[in-house]
Structure 1
Amino acid sequence: MKFLLLNFISLIFLACGNQTKDNNSNPQKEIANAEPVEASSQNGLEKAYFASGCFWCVEAIYESVEGVEEAISGYSGGHTKNPTYKSSNTGRTGHAEAVEVIYDPEVVDFKTLVEIFFGSQDPTQVNGQGPDRGSQYRSIIFYQNEEQKNIIEEVKAKVAEKYDEPIAAEILPFQKFWKAEDYHQNYEKNNPNNPYIRNVSIPRLNRFKSKFPELLKENQHSNSSE
């Protein structure tokens, strides 16, 4: 899937999965107007949900942040049940590759996680990040209550001041997170020599580290994985 040597030209066409056309349907409009669902906390840890291109990249970014216990790759934002990697890549499920971020709110708050979301991507790119194109790679930030929604909109407005193009990220009420297949979990960590990881994921992670050094876990300050 991504095991060919990459050069500048092939990287444009190589993605975390298949590239498809956007396919938002009426069920998606119903999701946008739905009441948000709050994820249950456990042992003082909260959960937040973000979609920002390939979940391999996003998972690695959030797991480098102090206060984040774990980031889990999966699917969210769509209208079908039990999505899979194969079905989400058709662009017909409405789901995007997403991550569940399990964090300690005493160490890192929701607003900071939102700032990481906008600051670790090109927030103006529509339906994708980098070479990953299609509605399954679109940027979405999920809120679980009105307080979170207000925080998201506040941060988004400040981010928008820095760009000439409009911010592409959707703001959706959280409904459900579907965990991805086991082989996707910790993919960047487990597959450091994969060409996509070396050419896309790790550079994106290191750009984030350079931008937000004060948020990193102690063992994440080195860029030796490049």
Structure 2
Amino acid sequence: MKIVKIPFLVLLLLVSTSCQSKTKSNKQEPTQKEQKESFELLGLFSEELQNYETAYFASGCFWCVEAIFESVKGVKEVYSGYSGGKKKNPTYEQVGRGLTKHAEAVEVFYDPNVVSFTELVQVFFGSHDPTTLNRQGPDRGAQYRSIAFYKNDTEKKIIEDYIAKLEAANVFGKPIVTEVKAFDKFYRAEDYHQDYEKNHPNNPYVQQVSIPRLNRFKAKFKSYLKEDAH
């Protein structure tokens, strides 16, 4: 039997509302004091960021992933870092050598009044290949694996429901191997990794891998982009 594939953007429109869930989380949210301390550690104005939510994703080289999410309207800031493992305060060298079980990941600060968690999940799956195990493009190893992190039951259901929709429509033609993982800790990467693609446009990897990946995303998600990202 021939399987009819639904165009990816059409599928996004079909499932964007169905993935929303009203399931109440049983996980305790951080207190206002904890949020304020966290924001101050980031060197940002707590009054401003108290209205922003956070989301965490891993989908290959964080230089690429950071640039993609920073182009999305409603996203205030994105940081490159490490998550998914157990080692405290990992370094780039340790993660790159596969010694920590962490993946290169990003922390996304976003305004839920402008962009929803569901839409960020759509951006995540629409900007990488979630069918390649421990690999993304030329980058190989568990540190480049695909992970969608959730902080509560609502986010978990949104991710799982969206994966089910993608697989039911055979969008990628192969099984999705993305980990759906409870968020634990995010360790921000060394300063030189932050805004790397923007600050090093002539880097060979950026030229050959990061920028083409960003441009492919922009071509598919024009309505999701900030005005200055077109």
**Smaller-chain TM-score range?**
0.7 to 0.9
- 2:140 maps to 133
**Residues 52 and 58 in structure 1, CA contact (< 8 A), matched pair in contact too:** yes
TM-score when scaled to structure 2? 0.78
Give the corresponding residue for 1:187: 196
Q: C-alpha offsets along residues 100-126 of structure 1, whole Å, 9 cap, x if unaligned? A: 000000000000000100000011111
Matches of 1:188 and 1:103 in 2, distance apart? Answer: 20
2:216 counterpart (178, 203, 207): 207
* 3-state SS of paired residue (2:50): coil
**1:114-125 map, 5 Å:** 114-125=121-132
Distance 1:90 1:47 in 2: 28
> Does the 8 Å CA contact 1:140/1:172 hold for their aligned counterparts?
yes
Contiguous gaps of at least 5 residues in structure 2: 1-25, 37-48
CA distance in 2, matches of 1:100, 1:81: 17
SS at match of 1:92: coil
Do 1:73 and 1:185's aligned partners in 2 also have CA atoms closer than 8 Å? yes
Structure 1 match to 2:100: 93
Equivalences for 1:150-165 in 2 at 5 Å? Answer: 150-160=157-167, 161=169, 162-165=171-174
The code of the aligned residue for 1:52 comes to S
Tell me how far apart the structure 2 counterparts of residues 192 and 218 of structure 1 sit (CA, whole Å): 20
Bigger CA radius of gyration = 2
- For residue 149 of structure 2, what is the aligned residue in structure 1? 142
1:59 shift after superposition: 0.1
Please state whether the residue corresponding to 2:55 is helix, strand or coil: strand
TM-score, normalisation: structure 1: 0.80
Q: Deviations over 1:184-226 (max 9, x none)?
A: 00000000000100100000000000000000000111xxxxx
Aligned equivalent of 2:182: 173
Is the Cα contact below 8 Å between 1:49 and 1:101 reproduced in 2?
Answer: yes
Between stretches 108-117 and 36-45, larger displacement belongs to: 36-45
Q: Which amino acid aligns with 1:123?
A: P
C-alpha root-mean-square deviation of aligned residues, in Å? 1.5
SS at match of 1:48: strand
Q: Which amino acid aligns with 1:113?
A: L
Residues 125-173 of structure 1, C-alpha deviations (whole Å, 9 max, x = no match): 1112100100000010100000000000011111223133110110000
Q: Judging changes above 3 Å, is the alpha-carbon distance between structure 1 residues 36 and 93 closer, same or farther for their aligned structure 2 residues?
A: farther
Partner of residue 102 from structure 1, selected from 105, 109, 112: 109
Between the two proteins, what is the percent identity of the paired residues? 61
SS of residue in 1 equivalent to 2:148: strand
Task: Give yes or no for contact 1:37–1:173 (8 Å, CA) kept in 2.
Answer: no
**In structure 1, distance between residues paired with 2:102 and 2:195:** 20
Give every structure 1 segment of 4 or more consecutive aligned residues whose post-TM-superposition deviation is greater than 3 Å.
35-42
Q: Which residue of 1 aligns with 2:207?
A: 198
The aligned length equals: 187
SS in 2 for 1:164: coil
In structure 2, give the amino acid aligned to 1:185.
Q
Cα distance change, pair 37–85 in 1 and its aligned pair in 2 (3 A): farther
Amino acid at match of 1:97: E
Amino acid at match of 1:83: P
For residue 159 of structure 2, give the secondary structure of its aligned residue in structure 1: helix
Counterpart residue number, 1:45: 52
